[in-house]
A and B are shown apart, each in its own frame.
Chain A
Amino acid sequence: MEAVQENKVVQFTEGWKQPENLRSIRKEAKQALNAMDFPTTRVEDWKYTRTTRITNKTFTQQDAQVEVDEFKIDNLKCHELVFVNGFFDEQSSTLLEDAGLSIKGIETLDEEAYAELLEDTEENVFSLINKAYSTGGLYIHQEKNKKANYPVHIIHVTTGNSVIANVRHFVEVEQGAELYVITSYNSKNAIDCFNNVVFEGLVGENASLTIDKLQTEEQTVFNISKENFIQDPSSRFLMNTITTGGLLVRNGVNILVEGANCYSEINGVYLGRGKQHLDNHTFIDHLYEHCTSSETYKGVMDDSSTGVFNGKVIVRQDAQKIEAYQSNGNILLSDKSSVNSKPELEIYADDVRCSHGSTTGQLDEDALFYLQARGINKKSAQKLLVAAFIGEVLDKIKNEDTRAHVDKLFLDQFGWEF
């Protein structure tokens, strides 16, 4: 008898149910998975992030109920859509009156159109797992030439033991429309849980999409996110990612700039403590001329946490008159913390203005001494300097209520004031 070598990816998903929708998409994804393996650190894209910590474990799909009030943003009047362990919780969700905005289940998408639209976006084994097994998600659609009355807050909560939450959203902002989305990833009494997230979107011609992403899960939760966005001509896209939670986090933001005169901005702040591993991969692909992209990621790592930043910008041959700026700065607060930073720039056009840079160091000793010499305790002085360091990125959060929410988060978790 011949021994059959069981595929690790298939093993990983064993016993999971595939909901009865988006059938052809799921089928295709599942077929692709049959021939795949999990990435090792020999694969360049995963060199600094070891996923065996996740893939050696067993996770199950579990629907659950949980109180979500604490995860709402104070004073922010918005549509609140709640997902618990990857399942939509209609009872906890609130939709407001907003004529141009439609929020439905992702299964209501036209499968063919959806597949075609995202043909050019990159998939990896985790996003394919999500595609095959996602248990819920939203299709958010903002009508042409209209600005949504209210922001959309997608609240994700993970709870329980060894839970996998495969959630998948798609947002479409039509020509000339404007939308603001907050995605928060939270957990409550979660042990060894895995948020496997896919969030995709299309920003139409002259449209604008802003996303603030807040990751504050407990340090027992894994989070791998794939965020793919396509920009049509003259569109604006801004995404800020704030990461304080999770044991192992891998964010992958990909922007395909498919038109001229676009503005793309992605920023991030990641703060590691304990044994956290926080990885931000970004990719901006400039295909057309006269576009600007800007990227600022800042990390502060304490204890024995590790950070990864890998930002890649490609300026294609036809993408003349591009301005692309990328910077990554890190502060290490302890001897045991570390950061791997890799800014990448590939330019095939000849008339562009691009810059990239990366710094990693400790807090400025002279500044620390200066503050202490004025009577400020070392700990407070450190806080002031760290707050100043990341404040520049936090200022990119334009919504006052969201900003207040983030400030409160930092005050509660770190004692930092801005």
Chain B
Amino acid sequence: MLSIKNLHAKVEDHDILKGLNLEVKAGEVHAIMGPNGAGKSTLASVLAGKDGYEVTEGSVDFDGKNLLELETEDRAKEGLFLAFQYPVEIPGVSNVNFLRTAINEIREYRKEEPISAKDFMARVREKSALVELDAKLASRAVNEGFSGGEKKRNEIFQMAMLEPKLAILDETDSGLDIDALRIVANGVNKLKNKNNAVIIITHYQRLLDYIIPDYVHVLADGKIVKTGPKELALELEEKGYDWIHETA
């Protein structure tokens, strides 16, 4: 589904990604862990197509398409979803209105009919229940006045509404208490199936207690320096990231 080869990227004049390789297949869950400044969030931003990140080398293939050539919105339309580390507050734009716009633009891109108001509202009810997001919050302005936990749940709610092929969760666990963490993880697990995939970017192991990864990658200094099974996460938690540097 996703094939990243020798990816180099820089922000302003700083090289952040320095030859990153990653293969993600349908049905898989990958965790990317690593110390601060390793390039985890840069990877998420580069994949989503954020301005200010320059890819200098390498390729990213997403289901046969050259991802790096697509506009941000077209990446989303192809089925890529980024759950933001810091979800943006957008006063005046209602959550459900913008989601309906998004769903219909995605449908138009796929040459499908727009979603009916009835089906849409049914989907809002179903998916907001999935992440225990109050239906009132779902119809309020995007993230405005939401608590940290509500913002993260709103990200997963949006993911549920848009049904992406590949979801990248960028530090979705940060700032969550244990209950919110369980709700978010539960939502992701319910959305998981054999046709989609998830990349979890995280600093800590605790989210991986709830969402079990098939692979754990360690990102350090712009490269994947180690890949292993889910037990690797526990080992990292115990020994810290310095251990990787020593063995790498």
Contact = CB atoms under 8 A, between A and B. Distances in A.
B71 interface: yes
- Which range contains the number of A residues in contact with the other chain? 20 to 34
Given A366-B88, A367-B88, A384-B98, A372 B93 contact: no
Interface string B70-91: 0111011100011010011011
A369 B98 contact: no
B64 interface: no
Contacts of B77: 375
Contacts of B72: 369, 372-373
B212 interface: no
A373 B82 contact: yes
Contact of B51 (A369, A388, A391): A369
A377 interface: yes
Given A369-B51, A369-B72, A376 B105 contact: yes
Nearest to B72: A372
B93 A378 contact: no
Contacts, number: 78
A416 to B, nearest CB: 12
Interface residues of B, number: 32
Name A's interface SS: helix
A373 B92 contact: no
A370 B84 contact: yes
Interface string A135-146: 000000000000
A45 interface: no
A380 interface: yes
A373 B79 CA distance: 10
A391 B92 contact: yes
A371 B71 contact: no
Contacts of A191: none
B120 to A, nearest CB: 15
B158 interface: yes
B162 interface: yes
Interface of A: 364-367, 369-378, 380-381, 384-385, 387-389, 391-392
Interface of B: 48-51, 71-73, 75-77, 81-82, 84, 87-88, 90-93, 97-99, 101-103, 105-106, 109, 141-142, 158, 162
13 contacts: A367-B90, A369-B50, A369-B51, A370-B88, A370-B142, A372-B73, A373-B48, A373-B84, A376-B73, A381-B73, A387-B93, A388-B91, A388-B92
